[in-house]
Structure 1
């Protein structure tokens, strides 16, 4: 039998991560993590110490979104693992590859001891694609399976327990064999309700086709192919929020973002279609029910098992190659869409987006518009969850794939700042702008200290309205008073300064633009701007 290098289990895990092209680990370690940390140090892995396990997991999720490789997060046992749950669930519904590692008590005590002992399999099974615990004789195989499962369609998190008496034990399963991690080279199959249906003729004969595309297309780097299909069909493109940037939003064919601000304008436009090409669209992002009468052709890496919409034709396989095959196969389109019609729709969407502005106040759309105008074309924007997310999702003009990061599957508050930290770590040469609310910042504000320590010159924009606005609006709709939704005002500038960041409070668009103009591409100190907005525009928008 061949001999393999003598390694302990932690060294095997780290070797697999490094072999998969992963160079960052995000976490908050504990006693069972000591051997793993040493293995990571020796392999020159970059370890990012977050202020809590939950934010470490969100950083790992952003890593997966940006790179396509599994983001790796680490926690200790007990409360460390339970604190990690939200981030793992977020990656599960956002369809992001992740390897979540949690320490555990020694195997000889796990079945009898109770202090800080949680059953990780029971805890993580509902929110993971797979859970496992390493052992010296299985560690290599478990890591191969974990990596393969994490990236396979639909991608998501795998949770691995690392018992304290195993992490430093000599591994007998130590051969490093990296499995295939490219999910975009499989065969294409056509599944039809009636075997003789020709999907290519149906597509070409549509008079008013519309492309609706989503996160699976983003993962597959299918943007150029989708743009080519749109050009051949002379049809508009609508994207889901997490797919922003898969096609440039400056294109004449771009027709808006589904289920963000002014969502009814986009849905009404979609209802004009006589055929929907659902390309890599994942229903996990739907906020409103699907209510479009046109037939749907489902084009994705996975079959239409969700059945949120009915699709008599499914083209299942790697998304980019599937779209390219359609472009090559279809005849000249019979589409009657006019460029002017799509342009008029975009203008209507834009006008509706700006409705409700209050003169002399700092409106939420003023903030988005000012930051966008002051940012470079290749800037990366991250958005938290809340009313501002709906405006960023619709109003921020994305020009490049993976240039807008948000969570829209689980939609967990507190995501944006950890994601911005990761974005700057991965892309040091790009501008990174973080949009968050005062409620979302309060959940993760300790990570401002981390951003300052790492010398990450990100810009953090805080929408300050002193409320949980999404819930307060629903109370107002029922004519209920605000109760349980008000947040005490925080001096964002003072908070930022205490964390080693530059901080400023602004209450007008002029003040905001003045501060943004003072930024420099070489800044290595985070800038945190507390924007005191008038929330009245939210009422008009939503």
Structure 2
């Protein structure tokens, strides 16, 4: 097998493309095969690239996105034209909203057929132009090194995101003479000395500071630098929505995450803060609580916004100090920021920590025979480097509120709120890090969005454990339905299969949990099987959130309508 970058002349476009991937250190790609890029598959077969054959293009794109989250370099996905590309769009949207580097390669019709609405013809620049950072079609095989180098750079630099590259099938078979481009490394944007001195002065003048971490382009070294900074300044630190792996939850400075079902005490603390340092994130709709947490355009408090993309600075909120820097560079520069002789906010930090511990210590009892507290306790007892993956649904509230993420790289969850993400992300994570424990926590509707990828896990012997929380409904939508249209249930009820039997049908392990006494034993058996496993948890439909039941929600909604 030849895994070296070719410098030979007279290569096909497909060979040049694959050589460009090898040059950029691509070890793994995900996809669904298609006749539109057969030449690429053939060229890839001569390399060490691990090509994971998936069962649906959206899942393949989600796996590539998860890969980008874990490595900081673009996850790579290949799909065919037309419906293959539109199926993959879900993963592209996740990469865009989650600021994840990713490249989606799409097979395309032959160049001579364009404009005739040929079989599965799509204008990819038009379709993906507003969904991706960049959408391009390569017309000339001689430009492949140039375009692929730019694609890697666009995906990684500034605010990371997805790039879509269309590949006309006849272009892939053209033979041209062109040298390879070197490996692309993203530019780190460093904060200026003046910026860091201003930050130090603002901290010295503050009495109620809070730091919020979010966005992309983080790594374990940057997280460690921020931890040291928080210790030196005795500073409360929050994680943005589904970015809890950016600060260890067992650290005394951690004050919680800013997402759905936000701790009311943390919300009030953020509103009382006289200095907010937002590093890496954007304060989008969810962490800003529907754009109500801060004033727009004047935040109403001193705001230091640090972001790798200058276009994000002042886009919504006008900061007191805007710092155009990557999280890694900013975190390194924090080492030079000195704390005041006397820190005035130690009690403020201690109270923030106490509020977090009280909010997240133990899930309250929920209706029914199975208790979500048992799952939370089990997850907490797993190794600290366990990767927890989830899609979207009310089931995720228990994970986000009560689980303690302690290491960087242990959380894969879509800030875009995409259902079906947990299983594909878990497969990617376990394939990339086989020595780590990987758990996908899924809802019943959530799982069946991409549940066919369990076959992929079995095919590649990727022993993930998928915990399916089955309450027989689209729970989040049902919750909103009961709030807005109580007693008028429509379009949210599900009739589900036997998920344990589903797992066994694919060749995996399956167990059903209907009593709390069997929960831990079922999870133990799933891990001990050494196979891809499903733990099918029958949750009472009344257990709609950790704080309320479905009937209580309905009664409250009806009572409010009666008063009005």
| TM value normalised by structure 2 | 0.89
Aligned to 1:296: 303
Q: What SS does the aligned partner of 1:127 have?
A: coil
* Partner in structure 2 of residue 510 of structure 1: 517
CA distance in 2, matches of 1:44, 1:327: 40
Q: How many angstroms does 1:177 deviate by?
A: 1.6
How much does 1:435 deviate? Answer: 0.5
Provide the secondary structure at the position in 2 that maps to 1:377. Answer: coil
Is 1:496 equivalent to 2:503 in the alignment? Answer: yes
Pair 1:156-2:164 in alignment = no
Alpha-carbon contact 1:363-1:537 (below 8 Å) kept = no
Could you say which residue in structure 2 is the equivalent of 1:367?
375
1:438 to 437, 440, 444: 444
Look up the match of 2:558. Answer: none
Q: How far apart are residue 520 of structure 1 and its match?
A: 4.7
Q: Deviations over 1:272-306 (max 9, x none)?
A: 32211111123246251241443211122223435
Shift, 1:206, TM fit: 1.3
1:306/1:435 CA distance change after superposition, 3 Å: farther
* 1:203 match: 203
> Within 2, Cα distance between the matches of 1:308 and 1:111?
40
Residue 109 of structure 1 deviates from its aligned partner by: 1.1
Confirm or deny that 1:67 pairs with 2:77.
no
Conservation of the 8 A alpha-carbon contact between 2:9 and 2:176: no
Number of equivalenced pairs: 530
Maintained 8 Å contact 1:269/1:345:
no
Q: CA deviation at 1:179?
A: 4.8
Q: Say whether 1:481 aligns with 2:483.
A: no
Contact 1:152 1:183 in 2 (8 A): yes
Identify if the C-alpha distance between structure 1 residues 176 and 17 changes in structure 2 by more than 3 Å, giving closer, same or farther: same
- Contact persistence 1:218–1:243 (CA under 8 A): no
The separation in 1 between residues aligned to 2:265 and 2:21, in whole angstroms, is 45
Q: How do 1:17-32 and structure 2 match up within 5 A?
A: 17-32=21-36
CA distance, structure 2, for counterparts of residue 321 and residue 76 of structure 1: 38
Secondary structure at the counterpart of residue 216 of structure 2: helix
Structure 1 residue 202, shift from structure 2 partner: 1.1
Q: What is the rounded CA distance, in whole Å, between the counterparts of 2:220 and 2:386 in structure 1?
A: 21
RMSD: 2.3
Residues 428 and 197 of structure 1, relative CA distance in 2, 3 Å threshold: closer
Question: Do the aligned residues in 2 keep the contact of 1:32 with 1:167 (CA within 8 Å)?
Answer: no
For residue 346 of structure 1, the aligned residue among 330, 352, 356 is 356
Could you tell me whether the CA contact under 8 Å between 1:216 and 1:300 is conserved in 2?
A: no
Secondary structure of the structure 1 residue equivalent to 2:429? helix
Whether contact under 8 Å (2:190, 2:329) holds in the other structure is no
In structure 1, the residue matched to 2:326 is 318
Question: What do residues 433-470 of structure 1 show as CA deviations (whole Å, max 9, x unaligned)?
Answer: 00111001111111111111111111100010011111
- Shift in Å, 1:213: 0.6
Task: Measure the CA separation in 2 of the matches of 1:250 and 1:329.
Answer: 24
- Residue 357 in 1 paired to residue 359 in 2? no
2:561 alignment counterpart: none
Number of the residue aligned with 2:267: 267
Asked if structure 2 preserves the Cα contact closer than 8 Å seen for 1:362 and 1:509, the reply is: yes
Which sits farther off after the overlay, 319-328 or 392-401?
Answer: 319-328
Q: Which runs of 5+ in 2 are unaligned?
A: 1-6, 295-299, 549-564
Moved over 6 A (4+): none
Contact persistence 1:235–1:335 (CA under 8 A): no
Q: Which runs of 5+ in 1 are unaligned?
A: none
Structure 1 residues 98-139: Cα deviation after superposition (integer angstroms, max 9, x where no partner): 111111111011223432111111111111111111222211
With normalisation by structure 1, the TM-score equals 0.92
Identify the residue that residue 143 of structure 1 maps to in structure 2: 148
How far apart are the structure 2 equivalents of 1:93 and 1:520?
Answer: 33
Pairwise mapping of residues 48-447 of structure 1 onto structure 2 (< 5 A)?
Answer: 48-134=52-138, 135-172=140-177, 174-184=178-188, 186-189=189-192, 198-216=198-216, 218-219=218-219, 221-284=221-284, 286=286, 288=289, 289-292=291-294, 293-303=300-310, 304-305=312-313, 307-332=315-340, 334-338=343-347, 340-350=350-360, 354-355=363-364, 357-358=366-367, 361-373=369-381, 375-408=382-415, 410-447=416-453
Change (3 A) 1:480 1:539: farther
CA displacement at 1:480 relative to structure 2: 4.0
From the superposition, tell whether residues 340 and 45 of structure 1 become closer, same or farther in structure 2 (CA, over 3 Å): closer
